[in-house]
Structure 1
Amino acid sequence: MNDTVEAHRAFYAQFIVRSAGSADPRLIDAFNAVPREGFVGPGPWPVFIGGGQYLPTISDDPRLLYQDILIGLATERGINNGQPSLHARCLAAAAPAAGDSVVHVGAGTGYYTAVLAQLVGSAGRVQAYEIEPDLAQRAAQNLRGHANVSVRAASATEGALPPADVIYVCAGATHPPAAWLDALKPGGRLVLPLTPNEGFGVMLQITRLDARRFAATALMRVSFIPCIGARDDATSASLAAALERQSLKAVRSLRRGDPPDSSAWCVGQGWWISSEAP
């Protein structure tokens, strides 16, 4: 029986991608190529079980990491490595291609940054932002072998971002900052957790069609730690109301500048989500 770490990783890669509704061999290969044990510190590892609680793994055997579980990175701050199947689904939607330029917001210790780096290949580029200095330092160390990755110990909400084919966000925002939308190239995809101050939010995919038009799709309900610098109480209230009274299936486009009309799903400052096609 093949019971090696590599065998467990290969099964895990197949499982999380296929259970997320994708059969993309590139995505399966990317998860298979990145050793999770290289990004979560020494074991035994704290496994998130909900309500701010963690359960330690029974040993430091890295085979235990190849399950669809969240591993704590900084448990006292509620920062985890992220649920693999959720990220598999979101990465499938973001669809990073070989040669793409990617911005990763909220990189943590770099695990999903490394998966992104595999997807864009040597001709692509991943710029990772992590606001927590200790996590950014760990990410830079963990990713030192990836020549196509750079890590910034900084907020991605302050100033302009580089032009991007994909912006992949791993912290909850109440709104898409204007700088993120501006950074998207035509055809570029922004995948971000849009979350109110309390309760679950929604993973939103925004695709820039041209200079003014953005398509939008709600992928699933999610919960993430807050994205510092991308939160607003008034917008949180508007989002919470939209999530309570409207279907995620109604989300069709994101509008900027124009006053909201009767198709408005959620209204923010200078932007709104519409149930009408872009």
Structure 2
Amino acid sequence: MRSEANLEQIRAYYADLVTAATGDPAVRKAFATVPRERFLGPGPWKVFVWADGQYVTTPSDDPVFIYQNVLIGLKPEEGVNNGDPSLHARMLSALNLSPGETVLHLGCGTGYYTALIAELVGEDGSVLAIDIDPGLAELARTNLSPWQHVTVDCRSATDGALPAADAIYVNAGTNMVVRHWVEALNPGGRLLFPLLGDSGWGANLLVTNTGPGYAARFVNRAAFIACVGAQSAEDGHVLDKAFRSGGWDTVCSLHLDTPPDDTCWVAGQGWWLSTAAMH
């Protein structure tokens, strides 16, 4: 069994590895602090291999095997994983969380990235973690018990209003803009969610409530498990076509309930993304 000092050294290296592209010391510190193994269940663990969609089992329950930039299967038979650490590092850095903020984490799984959020907002902040899967939500509740400013709720994040928040972090893919996620944002609040086509590929969209409207930009390309209740066959087809055509990195704003103009990059049902900045 590894000593705690040795594990701290391993976590520090892992944090350097997965946050290198962000240059964000707060995100790096969070990755170096939170024990990933606490959220994965007993080892050996199943590591997802992108090349063929299969899983490779670690040789033992030595935590060194999970302190790499790899996805770990939580429910491999359903494709539910503890996601790509470097992807989440970039997303959390883009969300730009501050101490004392109120954050909603939708699709929290077993709580690993919720714990990172809790570290970033500190004890003066608050985090509500939501997952629709009762088993995952119960594990998250247990795993997150040391972070007393975190609450876990088992429910759908797409049914009904959400409490007001400074930031909303979504870890399940949609092919539509969920209206009440946007409406839950405080002034200056940020929503980061995977906007995907029917293919399951798309990009993480960061929406900011500027007061007069919503600034928006894509942070990075991504693939996520589908968010139950946030799927539109019509919008998914349109998004696939838009992502194939390119230009996603030119998006600057989100518009609701207005007709698209000639700056439109893609239009869904009741929403559209523009290449023009908010004024």
1:241 is matched with which residue? Answer: 241
CA distance in 2, matches of 1:161, 1:100: 16
CA distance in 2, matches of 1:77, 1:227: 13
Secondary structure (helix, strand or coil) at the match of 2:254 reads strand
TM-score in terms of structure 1 length: 0.96
Secondary structure (helix, strand or coil) at the match of 2:48 reads strand
Secondary structure (helix, strand or coil) at the match of 1:103 reads strand
1:176, distance to aligned residue in structure 2 (A): 2.1
The amino acid across from 2:31 in the alignment is F
Secondary structure (helix, strand or coil) at the match of 1:119 reads helix
2:60 is matched with which residue? Answer: 59
CA contact (8 A) 1:263 1:274 kept: yes
1:150 is matched with which residue? Answer: 151
CA distance in 1, matches of 2:53, 2:41: 20
CA contact (8 A) 2:248 2:265 kept: no
Within 5 A, what are the aligned runs for 1:104-119? 104-119=105-120
1:13 is matched with which residue? Answer: 15
Are 2:127 and 1:126 aligned?
Answer: yes
CA distance in 2, matches of 1:94, 1:84: 15
- More deviation, 2-11/257-266: 2-11
1:265, distance to aligned residue in structure 2 (A): 0.7
1:246, distance to aligned residue in structure 2 (A): 2.7
Secondary structure (helix, strand or coil) at the match of 2:158 reads coil
CA distance in 1, matches of 2:46, 2:77: 11
CA distance in 1, matches of 2:159, 2:170: 15
The amino acid across from 2:34 in the alignment is V
CA contact (8 A) 1:246 1:265 kept: no
1:198, distance to aligned residue in structure 2 (A): 1.1
CA contact (8 A) 2:198 2:239 kept: no
The amino acid across from 2:63 in the alignment is P
The amino acid across from 1:80 in the alignment is N
Moved over 4 A (4+): none
1:199, distance to aligned residue in structure 2 (A): 4.2
CA RMSD of aligned residues (A): 1.2
CA contact (8 A) 1:99 1:125 kept: yes
1:256, distance to aligned residue in structure 2 (A): 1.0
Are 2:56 and 1:78 aligned?
Answer: no
For this pair of structures, how many residues does the alignment match?
Answer: 274
CA distance in 2, matches of 1:199, 1:169: 15
Secondary structure (helix, strand or coil) at the match of 2:47 reads strand
1:29 is matched with which residue? Answer: 29
1:41 is matched with which residue? Answer: 41
Secondary structure (helix, strand or coil) at the match of 2:207 reads strand
1:206-246 deviation digits (Å, cap 9, x = unpaired) = 11101x41111111111100000111000101111111113
Are 2:263 and 1:263 aligned?
Answer: yes
Identity %: 46
Unaligned runs of 5+ in 1: none
